Amino acid sequence: MFDSLSDRLQGVFKTLRGQTRLTESTVEAALREIRLAMLEADVNFKVVKAFVDRVRDRAMGQEVMKSLTPAQQVVKIVREEMIALFGDTEGGLKPAARSPRVILLLGLQGSGKTTTAAKLARWLTKQGRHPILVSTDVRRPAAIQQLNVLAQKASIRACDPAGELDPVKRASAAMTEAANTGFDVVIVDTAGRLHIDDELMVELQAIKDAVQPTDQLFVADAMTGQDAIKSAGEFNHRVGVTGVVLSKLDGDARGGAALSVVSVVGVPIAFVGSGERIEDLEPFHPDRVVSRILGMGDVLSLIEKAEAAIDVEQAERLEQKIRLDDFTLEDFREQLRTIRKMGPLESLIGMIPGMGSMKALADHKPDEKQLTRIDAIISSMTAEERRKQDIINGSRRKRIARGSGTSVEEVNRLLKQFVQMRKMLKSIGGMGGGKKGRRKAMGMLHAMEHGRRN
Ligand SMILES: Nc1nc2c(ncn2[C@@H]2O[C@H](COP(=O)(O)OP(=O)(O)OP(=O)(O)O)[C@@H](O)[C@H]2O)c(=O)[nH]1
Ligand SMILES: [Mg+2]
């Protein structure tokens, strides 16, 4: 998402930076490009117009045109105005005193409510909360079962009173269970419709009256673009919406919906869903998304991802090993697997500053297949070889290459780089533990990933 918008805007900035002095006509030309780029990304046209007008007002100002770095000033203005489009509020859930917190999920059919319910429960668990899920979707056969299955996968309790087919009673049962058993968040999944209809609205209102939600999150399928915005507006009008969850941002959504929703509906984006896995939900951070669009990288998200995937104990064991110079190919393989748990490498690389443009990276894109090969090579070694790589002589190398379906050159390269990496790791190993140490270690592993290709 946002890829083409990002490319185009970065192109505009590049042209601007090429100018030593900005004139009104160069700024006007840039604004025209920005306008087109945003319209093409499916941003609501009224939002685009207001945006461009605001940027123009500020960019044509005396201080900007006369400043020593007018182009940078314009980039700064675009950045600030874009953050303002997102409402300039951090995503996630606002603190609430009430317990249990009750989250009602709303949205059209297939928008991702049920999936989001489970993802949200998982996210809350990570925040130390104890959520309970309940489905009130009695209309679609198997909808209740769908939530139960997802809940089970995520080890979350789903309240499912046997034979109860009244949506309000199902929601109330979850409230009672939460009160009796100490769950501090109740997540209520609701039925969807292809279009907004009165029957559904009456049902949602009844559920709302019964559970008195703290949050009413509208789940919008980002792929449907402006339609998602329109229905968010209607739900807001009829039942009330306190925040939006944009789902399916991993698809080929152009991003316009995300950039329009706050201006059009007036509620902030709380979370974004970026995949079908239960982990694929994150609080929305406007400044980071804007930085990503404008090509400034998204280091914070990257760090968070890395920290979520690394289990602390494992990281400490690793640090210890590095300090004792006892880091083996076995550990290396384990680390590679950890990196892969963080998600596709391409998406991680995209977050590194200066690497925003994937196209430029096309010919040295780190390649998942290559990682599989490295894993295969290490797995073809004996346990002893993995512990003491020095014993891997010529004939062993041949055997390993054959066993892993690779070549002796590849085995050689891997071993050479492993030795280099050990050296690098050792030199940072003495820097002490804690978060900083872990981050450093991750950074080194990434460096290794890059080194492999050189
Ligand atoms: N790629 C991707 N798929 C998603 C995401 N969120 C949900 N889906 C998929 O979208 C489909 C519909 O999701 P559901 O959670 O069942 O949607 P719903 O709103 O509960 O649908 P109804 O209950 O029929 O109204 C499923 O196949 C999900 O796996 C996402 O962030 N990315
Ligand atoms: Mg559902």
Confirm whether 260 is domain-assigned.
yes
Q: Do 132 and 226 belong together in one domain? A: yes
Ligand 1 neighbours, Cβ below 6 Å, are 107, 109-115, 137, 140, 143, 192, 247-248, 250-251, 273-276, 280
Task: Supply the pLDDT for residue 280.
Answer: 93
Q: Do 112 and 256 belong together in one domain? A: yes
Q: Do 232 and 210 belong together in one domain? A: yes
**What is the DSSP secondary-structure string of 73-100?**
HHHHHHHHHHHHHTTT---S------SS
Q: Is the peptide bond before 100 cis (omega within 30 degrees of 0)?
A: yes
Confirm whether 440 is domain-assigned.
yes
Give the domain range for residue 236: 101-296
What's the CATH number where 164 sits?
3.40.50.300
Q: Do 127 and 230 belong together in one domain? A: yes
Closest residue CA from atom 7 of ligand 1? 112
What's the CATH number where 52 sits?
1.20.120.140
Confirm whether 207 is domain-assigned.
yes
pLDDT tens over the chain, length 454 residues: 677 888 888 888 878 877 777 788 888 999 999 999 989 888 888 899 999 999 999 988 877 776 666 777 788 888 889 888 888 788 999 988 888 999 999 999 999 999 999 999 999 999 999 999 999 999 888 999 999 999 999 999 999 998 899 999 999 999 999 999 999 999 999 999 888 889 999 999 999 999 999 999 999 998 887 888 888 889 999 999 999 999 998 877 777 887 888 888 888 999 999 899 999 999 998 888 887 777 665 444 555 555 566 566 666 777 777 777 777 888 888 777 776 666 665 555 555 544 444 444 444 445 677 778 888 999 999 999 998 889 999 999 999 999 999 999 999 999 988 888 777 766 655 444 444 444 554 555 555 444 443 3
Of 240, 268, 296, at which residue does a domain stop? 296
Q: Do 241 and 357 belong together in one domain? A: no
Confirm whether 59 is domain-assigned.
yes
Measured in angstroms, how far is the CA atom of residue 219 from the centroid of ligand 1? 10
Q: Do 256 and 322 belong together in one domain? A: no
Q: Where are the alpha helices (DSSP H) in 355-407?
A: 358-361, 368-379, 383-387, 394-404
Which atom belonging to ligand 1 lies closest to the Cα atom of 272?
A: 31
Of 234, 267, 296, at which residue does a domain stop? 296
User: The tokens 């780029």 sit on which residue?
Assistant: 37
Structural domains of the chain, count: 3
Confirm whether 93 is domain-assigned.
no
Confirm whether 95 is domain-assigned.
no
Q: Do 365 and 411 belong together in one domain? A: yes
Closest residue CA from atom 10 of ligand 1? 112
Confirm whether 114 is domain-assigned.
yes
The SS3 call for residue 226 is helix
Q: Which one of the ligands is nearest to 118 CA?
A: 1
For a ligand 1 pocket test, name from 104, 116, 219, 276 the mutation site with the most ligand atoms within 8 angstroms of its C-beta: 276
Which atom belonging to ligand 1 lies closest to the Cα atom of 146?
A: 16
Task: Supply the pLDDT for residue 271.
Answer: 95
Confirm whether 90 is domain-assigned.
no
Of 59, 85, 111, at which residue does a domain stop? 85
Q: Do 112 and 223 belong together in one domain? A: yes
Task: Supply the pLDDT for residue 304.
Answer: 57
Q: Do 311 and 420 belong together in one domain? A: yes
Q: Do 275 and 408 belong together in one domain? A: no
Q: Do 40 and 115 belong together in one domain? A: no
Q: Do 137 and 268 belong together in one domain? A: yes
